[in-house]
Structure 1
Amino acid sequence: MTIRVVIIDDSPTMRAILMNRLSRESDIEVVAAAANAAEGRQMIRELDPDVVTLDIEMPGMNGLDFLAKIMELRPTPVIIVSGSTQAGNEMSARALALGAVDCYAKSGGGSGLDDAGRLAQMIREAANVQFTVHAPATQRVANEARVCLIERPALIAIGSSTGGVEALQTVLGSFPADCPPTMIVQHINSRFAPAVARTLDQSCPPRIMIAEPDMPLKPGHVYLAPGDERHLSVGGSSNFHCRLRPGEPVSGHQPSVDVLFSSVAEVVGARAVGILLTGMGADGAQGLLAMARKGAHTIAQDEATCTVFGMPRAAINIGAAKVISPLGSIARQLFSKAA
C-alpha cells in the first residue's frame, strides 16, 4: 500500500528537498506540498493524507497552532520538520506533547538530497499510527494486582516511544511533587531530549531533568535518558544513582527500555514500579517481565489510549504486566489506595 504524504513548509527549497528525499521511495507518494497552514488545511481536507510533514516555524499560523487544530478537528499522523535553532527544538518538544508522532531535523541530511532514508522511515512508522475515537476505556487488573499500591515504591521506571511525550505529560502531570525517584527511557533524538525535559518540567509537579552519569536519584525528581546512544540504568544499592554507559543497541534501541527495566529488576527488585507506555516494537517487554518476576508492580498502558500499542502489547502477551490501565488512570495506580 502506498503511503500518501502532504508536505507543509514555507520554504520552496525545503519543500523541494523533502520531495526529492521521498521521490525515490516506491511505497511513499507526496500528493501535495503547501506553503502555509491555510493551504495545508485545504489539502488535508481534500486529499485525506496518511501522514503530514509540518514545518514548525512558519509565518501566519505557526506549526504549533496548526498542529493543535489538526489534532482537534482531523487527527492525522504528523511529523514535525524542525530547524536547528534552540527555539525550533523547544517548539518541537511542545509539538510532541501536543501529539506529533516524531520530529525530523532539517539538518539531519545536511543541505543535500540524501538523509540515509531517515525521513522515509519516520513516515512508514507514522503511517501505522491510528487516531480513532474510542469508547471510554475500562481497566483490567490481573488477579495478583487488584489492590492499588499502598506502600511507597523506592523507584519508578518508565519506558515509552511513539506518542510517548504526550503520554508522559499526562502521567507525570498527575504525579505528586514529592514522587519517588523516577527514571525514563523515551525513544527520541538526543537533539530534542533537553527541550522535552524542559517542556515536561514546566507542566508537571516533579522536577524533570536530563540524566547525567552518577547523578543521585532523589524524591521529587524525574530523570530522562539523554537519547545519545548511551544506555540508562540504575546503580547503587540503597543510595541509587543514574548509570549512563555506551553499548550495542538492545531490542533495536540505544538507549533501551529493556536495559533500564532489567537493571531496576536486579538492583531494586520488588520495591520498584515499571510502567510501559505507547510505542512501536517490543522494547521494554522483556525488562518488564524481569521486574514482574522480582515482585515489582508492573503496569502497561491499554490499547484504547495508546498511540501505538506495540510495546505494551508485547509486554502483555508474555505476562509481564500485572496491571493494564488507561493512560489517565496510571498515576492513580501508584498514588491512591483505592483501585
Structure 2
Amino acid sequence: MNPIRVLLVDDSAVVRQVLTEQLARDPAITVIAAVADPLFAMARMQKEWPDVIILDIEMPRMDGLTFLRKIMDERPTPVVICSTLTEKGATTTLEALAAGAVSIVTKPKLGLKRFMEEASADLATAVKAAAQANLRRLRIGAPPGDAVRRDSTPAMKLSADAVLAPGGSCALQQTTERIVAIGASTGGTQALEHVLTALPSGCPGVAVVQHMPEKFTRAFAERLNRLCRIEVREARHGERLLPGYALIAPGGKHMMLKRSGAYYCVDVIDGPVVNRHRPSVDVLFRSAAKYAGANALGIIMTGMGDDGARGLREMRDAGASTIAQDEATCVVFGMPKEAVRLGGAQRVLPLSGLPRAILEWAAGAK
C-alpha cells in the first residue's frame, strides 16, 4: 500500500518541525509538505492533493475554520484539527467538527515540543483513522468525533478489568427506570447529534461515552443541549440518570452506571486508560451490564478500534438489548464491526434508524 500523504498546516514552526519528524518515523505515513498558513497550503495542494490534512485553527491570513469549509465545499478530504486545549479552543474546534473535520489533536500552550514527541504514536493513529474515514459520510455532513487523548500510550492495552471487575450482576429483575448506554468515537459527534436531537423529552435516560479530551466534552454537551429537546449535560459524579436527560462522560474521566435503589446514577472517576481511552466505552457498557442488565439498551456507533465491543457483548449476555450502527452510515466502521464479530450486537441498523429503535425499545417493543 502507498503511504498516507499528509499536509501539515500550522503557523508554529516548532509544531511543523516536530510533527514532520515524528510522523516520518511511521512507514505508513509521508508528510508531503508543512506550511505556515492556508494560503501556502492551497498553493501546495495545486501540485499534489493530500490524503489527510492536519490543520491548526488560529492562523494568520486565513483561519483554519474558513479553510476547512472551503475544502469541504470543493473537495472533501479527511482533516485532523490540531487545537489548543482551552475552553475557547474547544468551542471553535466543535465548529470545525460540525463543518466536516474527522478528529482532534490537542496541544498544550506550554511544553509543546515535548508533548508532540510523547504523543507521536497517537498522532500517527489519528492520521490513519482519518485516512480510513468514509468520505461519502463527510460529504453529507455526518462526520467527526474522535480525539487524540493526552495520556501517554501504556505499554499494555488495559481492559475494563482495570476499572470494574466483571460479573456479579447487581441489576434488578424489573424496574420502571430504563437506560440507554451509547458509545462512539471517530465520527461520533455528528452521529450523536443526529440521534439525540430526534429524542423526545420523555425518553429514557441516556449515558454517552464519546472519545474526547477534557474541556471539549463540556462544550460538546452545551452545544447538544441547545439543539435537543432533552437535557444534555456533562456528567457529574453521583448524578442521577433521569428520563429526558443525556449525560456525557467528561473527557479524561471514566463514567460508570450505578444503581441506587430502583434508580440509576453515574460515577465519574479517575483510573487507568482502557483500550487506550479515558473515558472508555467498555467501562460504561460493563457497568450497564452489571447494574442494569435487561433494563438497558446498548448502542455502539461509528469509531476506530474496538473499545466497547466486548462491553456490548457483556450487556447482551446480561439480558440487555444491543445495537450496532451499520457500515454504510459509519465514518469509520471499526468499533461496530468488532462488536458484530464478537456477537455483541443483536441488530445492525443505519444511523437514521437508531432514534426509532430507542423509542420502540422504551415502549416495550422487542
Please state how far the C-alpha of 1:17 moved relative to its aligned partner. Answer: 4.1
Distance 1:115 1:107 in 2: 12
TM-score normalized by the length of structure 1: 0.85
Aligned to 2:117: 115
Out of 317, 325, 337, the residue aligned to residue 341 of structure 2 is: 317
Equivalent pairs: percent with the same residue? 41
Contact 1:108/1:115 (<8 A) preserved: no
Distance 1:331 1:72 in 2: 29
Aligned to 2:149: none
Distance 1:166 1:172 in 2: 10
Distance 1:51 1:68 in 2: 15
Contact 1:160/1:276 (<8 A) preserved: yes
Report 1:51-90 matches (<5 A).
51-90=52-91
Please state how far the C-alpha of 1:44 moved relative to its aligned partner. Answer: 3.8
Number of residue pairs matched by the alignment: 324
Deviations 1:267-314 (A, max 9, x none): 222222111101112211222122223332211110001011111111
Equivalent residue letter for 1:190: E
1:65 and 1:205, CA in 2 relative to 1: closer, same or farther beyond 3 A?
farther
Contact 2:84/2:109 (<8 A) preserved: no
The secondary structure found in structure 2 opposite 1:183 is: strand
Residue 175 of structure 1 pairs with residue 199 of structure 2: yes
Aligned to 1:305: 329
Equivalent residue letter for 2:310: Q
Aligned to 2:161: none
Contact 1:230/1:255 (<8 A) preserved: yes
Equivalent residue letter for 1:75: P
Contact 2:134/2:332 (<8 A) preserved: yes
Please state how far the C-alpha of 1:196 moved relative to its aligned partner. Answer: 1.8
Aligned to 1:196: 220
Aligned to 1:185: 209
Equivalent residue letter for 1:123: V
Equivalent residue letter for 1:129: A
Please state how far the C-alpha of 1:207 moved relative to its aligned partner. Answer: 1.7
1:109 and 1:304, CA in 2 relative to 1: closer, same or farther beyond 3 A?
farther
1:10 and 1:247, CA in 2 relative to 1: closer, same or farther beyond 3 A?
closer
Aligned to 1:328: 352
Contact 1:97/1:169 (<8 A) preserved: no
Distance 1:109 1:304 in 2: 41
Equivalent residue letter for 1:71: M
Distance 2:210 2:49 in 1: 30
1:286 and 1:11, CA in 2 relative to 1: closer, same or farther beyond 3 A?
closer
Aligned to 1:129: 133
**Root mean square deviation of aligned Cα:** 2.8
Deviates more, 1:90-99 or 1:36-45: 36-45
Contact 1:98/1:166 (<8 A) preserved: no
Contact 1:54/1:79 (<8 A) preserved: yes
1:260 and 1:57, CA in 2 relative to 1: closer, same or farther beyond 3 A?
same
Please state how far the C-alpha of 1:73 moved relative to its aligned partner. Answer: 3.4
Please state how far the C-alpha of 1:40 moved relative to its aligned partner. Answer: 2.8
Please state how far the C-alpha of 1:109 moved relative to its aligned partner. Answer: 7.7
Residue 253 of structure 1 pairs with residue 254 of structure 2: no
Residue 157 of structure 1 pairs with residue 193 of structure 2: no
Equivalent residue letter for 2:266: C
Equivalent residue letter for 1:270: A
Equivalent residue letter for 1:328: S
Distance 1:310 1:173 in 2: 24
TM-score normalized by the length of structure 2: 0.79
1:226 and 1:321, CA in 2 relative to 1: closer, same or farther beyond 3 A?
same
1:120 and 1:314, CA in 2 relative to 1: closer, same or farther beyond 3 A?
closer
Report 1:193-272 matches (<5 A).
193-272=217-296
Aligned to 2:305: 281
Contact 1:237/1:267 (<8 A) preserved: no
Distance 1:211 1:235 in 2: 16
1:73 and 1:333, CA in 2 relative to 1: closer, same or farther beyond 3 A?
farther
Distance 1:127 1:54 in 2: 14
Residue 37 of structure 1 pairs with residue 41 of structure 2: no
